[in-house]
Structure 1
Amino acid sequence: MLPGTPRRQADGMTIMNRRTVAATALAALLTVAVPGAVTAAPRATTPLGPAPAPLAAAVDNDRSGVDCRPGTLDPAPIRAAIAGLPDADATSAQVRITIPDGCWTGTSGVRDLRTGAPVPPHARFRVGSVTKVFTAALVLQLAAEGRVDLDGSVQGYLPGLLPADYPIVTVRQLLHHTSGIPSPTPPGDIEWQLAHRYDRWTPEQIVRAGLENPRAFDPGEKQDYTNMGYIVAGLLVEKVTGHTYEQELARRIARPLGLRDTYGPGDDPRIRGPHAHGYQAVTRDGVTELVDATVWSQTYTPASGDVISSLADLDTFMTALFAGRVVPEPQLTEMFTLPPVDDVEGGPARYSAGLSAMPLDDGETLWVKTGSRYGYLAAVASTRDGRFRVEYSITATDAKGEELSATAQAVIAAALGMA
C-alpha cells in the first residue's frame, strides 16, 4: 500500500468577459481527483508559529537576464488575485503571465511562517504532475531518435515488469493515460502520510503495488488519468538510455535550455536553493494547525510528480517545447493530439501526451498541465502558438484537497480575463 476559506475576491473587482465560462470550466478541470490523493483537514485556522500579517500587495519581480516587462499588460487583476497572503488558503503565490506585447511576474506572501520573510523572487517549488510534461518530452525525444517505438510494447522494453499474461501495453498508451495499469491503493490517512513522508520507494515497488489491484479496462479502451503510466515511462527512459531519469532530464532538457532551477530530486526530500515553504492543514483534537510539508520524499511519484523548477524555467521550457525546439515534428504532434477514446467516466478524452486540452469559449484551446504535492500547487498553460502563457506556484494549505485553492481560482479567473 502506498501512498474552508471562501473565494477571495480581487479587491471587489469583477472579471466578466468572453472567457468567464472558460475560467469556470478550467477550475473544474484542475480539481479532477488525482489517484493517490487523500482527504486532509479543513482549512487552517491556527497557523504554525506566529502568523505574519498579510502583505498588502503583490510584489513585482524581474529576474536578471529574463525579459519580462509589462508592456501593454495591466497586471492589476493578477496582483489583486494574489494580494493579502498569507491567509487560511495559502501562505504564498508566484505568478507569471505573458501576452503578445507584455509579461509580468510577481509574488505574494511569505517564504516561511516562522520568519515572515518574503518569497524569494525566483523561488523554486515542487511542480507536481507538471513533471509529466518533461517525461513525455523525454520519451518523444527518444522516439524521434528511433530509440523508442511509440507503438512498441512495454513488455518488450521492460521485460518482467508486467505479469507474463498481461495484455500488451504500448508506449503511446503510457503517455495517453490509456494503459489501464492500475494504481496502488492510497492509505487515505494524512497522519499516515506524514509519518511516512521520508520513506523511499522504487518505481518497481509502486508498479507491483498497483498490480495487486484489478484492471479496470484493457489497454487502449479508455482514458484514466493516473501517475502509473508515467512512472513506467520513467523506467523506460532509464532502460533505453542507461542513465537515471534525473541525468536524462538534466542532459536533454535542463542544460540545453539553460534551466538553472529545474532538476529531478531523486531520493533527496529537500528542495535545493531558494524556495518557499509549503504547509498542510491538519486537524488534531479539534484544532487545525499547519504542518511544514517542505521536506518530503517524492520517490512515490517518480517521473510523474517529483520535478522541482521555477516560474522562469517553466516559461522557458514551455516556450521552447511549443516552438518545436525540445521535441521535433512529427513527435511533437503527440502532445497536442487526444486519443480517440472516452475517459472512464464516459466523457471524451482530455489528456494528450503530457498535457490536457481546455477548449475556450471563443474556439481557441488552452493546453494545460497542473500539479499538486502536499504544500504546493503548480500549473502551466499556453495557447498552441505560445502567444498567451501562464505559470503559477501556490503554497496552498490543502493542495491535495477536493476543492481547488481559492487563490488558484482567483489567479485563473484573472489570467483568463487578460487573454
Structure 2
Amino acid sequence: MRTSWSPAALDAALENVHRAGMPGLFAEVREGDRVWRGAAGVADTATGRPVTADMRHRVGSVTKTFTAAAVLRQVESGRIDLDAPIGRYLPELVPGERGDAITVRMLVNHTSGLAEYLPYAYPSLKAFPDLANTGPQSLEDHRFTRFDPVELIGMGVTAPAVGTPGGTPGVYSNTNYLLLGRLLERVTGTTAEECITRDVIERAGLRDTGFPTGPYVEGPHSLLYEAWFGMIDPPRDHSVQDMSWVGPTASLISTVADLNRFYGMLLAGEIVGPSSLAQMRRTVPVVSQEGKLIDYGLGLYPMEAPPGRDVFWGHGGTVWGGGTLAAIRADGKRRMAVAVNMQRWNRLDSAGRPRARPLDDALAAFHRVAMYG
C-alpha cells in the first residue's frame, strides 16, 4: 500500500515527541528520491544547544544487524557454517554438551538458551521484569570500566540457562552476540570491530559510522540522558561511557542518514547475497528484553504493521541515555531512522512495571507517521 508523504506531518509528529518530554530527537525518512530530515529539542539541557539531524549517536542494538551481516559474509566465504556447533569454533568459551548443542544460527537468532550477562556485569541492575529492585549506581560506578568480553561471556554461559538450545520461544541475550564477536575474531584473525568495519561498514560506504575507541563520542553529538525509571531525577548525561560492556553487540556509533543507507543496501542484496538475506528474514519467536514476544530473524526483525500495511524490517537499540530505531519497508522503497536522547523515562508502579506516559504514545505516533504517512 502506498504511503503518503507530508513533511509538515513529520515535523509536527517529531515536535510532539519533544513536547511530551523528550529533551531532543532527530530523524530521517526516505522514499524513492525524496528525503526528509528533522530535529526537535536540545542536545544539552543546560546550554540549550539544539539537536540537528546530522548528529552522531550511539545506536545500541542496531549494531546487531551489522554483526549478523558480518557473520553471514563469513558464511558466504565458507569460513563459518551457520548450522555448525559453536563448540567447533570456540570450545573454550562454550564447552562440553552445550557447545555441541548450540549452533551459530542459534546465537544469531537468540535461541541458544544462554542467559543475559548484563545483570552480572552491572550487579545492581536486575534483569527484566524485576525492575522494582533496580538501582542506577552501577552505571556511574562503571562509567569508565574496561570490561573483558571473555569474562562477560563467562557470566552468561555459567548463569542458569533461560532455555534449551534451539527451543522456542528464544530469549534475547547479548551473550549470544558477544560470542559472535569472538567467532568473527577466530575465523578472520582480526578483531570483530575490524571485521565488521571492513565487510559491512566500508562495503556500504558509511562515512559517519564506526566503533568507539574510548568512552567519548567523536564529532557532533547530543548528550544522552538516563532516567533509570525515574530513579535518576533529573536524568543524568551518560554520553561519556566506556562501551566495552557491549562491544560488537551494541556499541556502534552512526547517524540516521547512514542507518537508512545501510538498511537500504542490505535489503537490496548489496551487503549479503539473496540467500543470506532470506536467512536473515527467517524468524522465530523470541522474548525481548522487555518481556514481549516478538518474531526475530538473524539480526533483523519485522515491526508490527497496521492492517493492510506493508511490514517494515529493522532493529531498535538502547544504551544508557540513548535510543534508536531504524526500519525499512519490505519492498525497500521507504526507510526511516530516529534517535532520541533520553531512556527509561517511565516510573515504576507498585508491581515494578513501567507506567505508561504520554511520551510513549507520542513516540509511537511518530514511528507510524514516519513509516506509513
TM-score (norm 2): 0.85
Q: 1:193 aligns with which of 125, 130, 139?
A: 139
Give the conservation status (yes or no) of the 8 Å contact 2:17–2:363.
no
Query: CA 1:291–1:346 in 2, change beyond 3 Å: closer, same or farther?
Result: closer
Map 1:139-288; keep pairs closer than 5 Å. 139-166=71-98, 167-184=100-117, 186=119, 187-188=124-125, 189-222=135-168, 223-266=170-213, 268-281=214-227, 288=233
Q: Distance in 2 between matches of 1:369 and 1:160?
A: 31
1:367 aligns with 2:313: yes
Q: Distance in 2 between matches of 1:325 and 1:156?
A: 30
Deviation, structure 1 residue 392: 0.5
Q: Distance in 2 between matches of 1:231 and 1:400?
A: 29
For 1:306-325, what per-residue CA distance to the aligned partner results, in whole angstroms no more than 9, with x for missing partners?
10000111111111111000
For 1:223-263, what per-residue CA distance to the aligned partner results, in whole angstroms no more than 9, with x for missing partners?
11121211111111111111112211221122232211111
Structure 2 unaligned runs (5+)? 126-134, 348-353
Deviation, structure 1 residue 185: 5.7
Q: Distance in 1 between matches of 2:2 and 2:268?
A: 27
1:309 aligns with 2:264: no
Deviation, structure 1 residue 390: 0.9
Q: 2:50 aligns with which of 102, 113, 118?
A: 118
Q: Distance in 1 between matches of 2:113 and 2:147?
A: 22
Specify the alignment match of 2:245 in structure 1. 300
Give the conservation status (yes or no) of the 8 Å contact 1:134–1:249.
yes
Specify the alignment match of 1:56 in structure 2. none
1:75 aligns with 2:7: yes
Root mean square deviation, CA, Å: 2.8
Query: CA 1:399–1:355 in 2, change beyond 3 Å: closer, same or farther?
Result: farther
1:103 aligns with 2:35: yes
TM-score (norm 1): 0.76
Query: CA 1:375–1:244 in 2, change beyond 3 Å: closer, same or farther?
Result: same
Deviation, structure 1 residue 356: 1.2
Q: 1:383 aligns with which of 329, 349, 363?
A: 329
Specify the alignment match of 1:50 in structure 2. none
For 1:102-128, what per-residue CA distance to the aligned partner results, in whole angstroms no more than 9, with x for missing partners?
220111112212321222441000101
Q: Distance in 2 between matches of 1:253 and 1:325?
A: 10
Structure 1 unaligned runs (5+)? 1-16, 20-71
Q: Distance in 1 between matches of 2:229 and 2:279?
A: 43
Deviation, structure 1 residue 372: 0.7
Q: Distance in 2 between matches of 1:342 and 1:326?
A: 25
Specify the alignment match of 1:328 in structure 2. 273
Q: Distance in 1 between matches of 2:280 and 2:319?
A: 23
Q: Distance in 1 between matches of 2:227 and 2:292?
A: 33
Query: CA 1:287–1:337 in 2, change beyond 3 Å: closer, same or farther?
Result: closer
Any idea what SS the aligned residue of 1:232 has?
A: helix
Query: CA 1:375–1:144 in 2, change beyond 3 Å: closer, same or farther?
Result: same
Deviation, structure 1 residue 195: 1.8
More helix by share: 2
Give the conservation status (yes or no) of the 8 Å contact 1:110–1:118.
yes
Q: Distance in 2 between matches of 1:143 and 1:207?
A: 23
Deviation, structure 1 residue 417: 4.0
Q: Distance in 2 between matches of 1:283 and 1:387?
A: 37
Deviation, structure 1 residue 87: 5.5
Any idea what SS the aligned residue of 2:101 has?
A: coil
Give the conservation status (yes or no) of the 8 Å contact 2:71–2:180.
yes
